[in-house]
Copies of this chain bind each other. A is one copy, B any other.
Amino acid sequence: MPRERADDYDDKTKAILDSAAALFARAGYPNAKMEDIAKACGASKSMLYHYFATKDDILFAMLEEHLASLLKAIEQSFNEVADPQERLRSFIEIYVQQSAHARRRHMVTMNDLRFLPKARQVPLLALERKVISSAAELLNSLNPQLEAFAYKPYALMLIGMLNWTETWYRANGVIKSKELCDRIARLFLRGFLPD
Query: Which residues of chain B are within 8 angstroms of A149 by Cβ–Cβ distance?
Result: 174-175
Contact status A145-B194, CB under 8 Å:
yes
Give this chain's copy count: 2
Query: Which residues of chain B are within 8 angstroms of A143 by Cβ–Cβ distance?
Result: 192-194
Closest approach, in angstroms, between the C-beta of A88 and any C-beta of chain B? Answer: 9
Contact status A153-B139, CB under 8 Å:
no
What is the interface of chain A mostly: helix, strand, loop, or mixed? helix
Interface size class of A (residues with CB under 8 A): 35 or more
Name the one of B160, B162, B190, B192 contacting A165, with C-beta atoms under 8 angstroms. Answer: B160
Q: Is A9 an interface residue (CB 8 A)?
A: no
Q: A interface vs B, CB < 8 Å?
A: 28, 30-31, 111, 114-115, 139, 142-143, 145, 149-150, 153-154, 156-157, 159-165, 167-169, 174-175, 180, 183-184, 186-194
